[in-house]
Amino acid sequence: MSQSITPARTRGFLRAAAAAVALSSVLLTTGCGASDEGGADAEATAAVPAGFPVTIDNCGVRTTYDRPPSRAVTIHQHPAELMLALGLKNRMVGTAFPDSPVLPELRKAYEAIPELAKREPSFERILDAEPDFVYGGYGSAFAKNEGRSRTAFADAGIDTYLNREYCGRKRVTMKDTYEEIRTIGRIFGVPDRAGKLVEDLRNRVGKAAAEVEGAHEVPVFVYDSGDRSAFTAGGRSLGTELIRLAGGRNVFADLDDVFGDVSWEQVVERRPEVIALYDYAGAGSVEEKKEFLLSRPALADVPAIRNKRFVVMPLTATLVGVRSAYAVDDLARGLHPESFR
Report the distance separating Cα 192 and Cα 185, nearest Å. 8
Sign, CA torsion 281/205/33/191: negative
pLDDT of residue 48: 53
Query: Which residue(s) pair with 3 in the sheet?
Result: 61
Q: Quickly name the fold that domain 3-201 has.
A: Rossmann fold (3.40.50)
β-pairing, 61-65 with 54-58? antiparallel
Question: What pLDDT, on a 0 to 100 scale, did the predictor assign at position 180?
Answer: 97
CB atoms within 10 A of CB 46: 16
Residue length of the chain? 341
pLDDT at site 304:
98
Sheet holding 92-96, edge to edge: 115-117, 92-96, 72-75, 133-136, 159-162
Sorted by where each begins, the domain ranges of the chain are 3-201, 215-340
Q: What is the CA radius of gyration of the chain?
A: 21
pLDDT at 101: 87
Q: Which of 79, 58, 56, 322 is nearest to 196 (CA)?
A: 322
- Predicted confidence at residue 167, as pLDDT, reads 87
H or E segment to which residue 96 belongs: strand 92-96
| Three-class DSSP category at 108 | helix
How far apart are alpha carbons 85 and 193 in whole angstroms?
Answer: 9
Show the low-confidence residues of the chain (pLDDT under 70). 1-48, 169
Handedness of CA 249, 252, 256, 259 (dihedral sign): negative
Contact 200, 255 (CB under 8 A): no
3-201 shares its CATH topology with 215-340: yes
DSSP-based three-state secondary structure for 134: strand
| Rounded Cα distance, 155 and 241, in Å | 38
In this prediction the pTM is 0.83
3-class secondary-structure state, position 94: strand
Beta strands in 245-309 (DSSP E): 248-250, 259-262, 274-279
- Domain with residues 215-340, CATH architecture: 3-Layer(aba) Sandwich (3.40)
- List Cβ neighbours of 298 (8 Å cut-off, separation of 6 or more): 264, 265, 268
**Single-letter amino acid, residue 115:** E
DSSP label at residue 225: B
